[in-house]
Amino acid sequence: MAKLLFRLNNVPDDEADEVRQLLEDHQFDTYETSAGRFHISVPAIWLKDNSQLPAAREVLAEYQARRAADAQARHAEALARGEQETFAQRFRTAPMRMLVYMLAGIVVLGLSTIPFLHFIQ
């Protein structure tokens, strides 16, 4: 029976292509399903041979760790160069928008906790 190996929901195309290539390079027997016409199915890559599951998961874990480290390094470099916008920079460029977002967050938090406040008393 096939095992779910990698979900493709909200995965960038470049990452999906790299995963496909990685699995092909390691000669894992896989197939892919799409979300379908009405988007109720699971878009994913499935492993046909259960005996390959531990090795495939290990290969994917190494790939994802490497991809995360690369993304963190790119983020740190962008911060160092001043290209990554910080909260303070966003607040300086659009203070009203940031205040509206913060107020909306406070309202949502308040509405979410009001039903539970009567338990405290």
Q: Where are the domains of the chain?
A: 3-84, 85-121
Residue 19's pLDDT is: 96
pLDDT digits (tens, 9 = 90+) for 57-72: 999 999 999 999 999 9
Residue 83's pLDDT is: 82
Residue 121's pLDDT is: 65
Per-residue pLDDT of the chain (121 residues; tens, 9 = 90+): 889 999 999 999 999 999 999 999 999 999 999 998 998 999 999 999 999 999 999 999 999 999 999 999 999 998 888 888 888 888 999 999 999 999 999 999 999 998 888 777 6
DSSP string, the chain: --EEEEE-TT--HHHHHHHHHHHHHTT--EEEE--TTTT-S--EEEES-GGGHHHHHHHHHHHHHHHHHHHHHHHHHHHHHT-SPPHHHHHHH-HHHHHHHHHHHHHHHHHHHHHHHTTT-
Q: Which fold has domain 3-84?
A: Alpha-Beta Plaits (3.30.70)
Residue 88's pLDDT is: 87
CA distance 115 to 117: 6
Return the amino acid letter for 54.
Answer: P
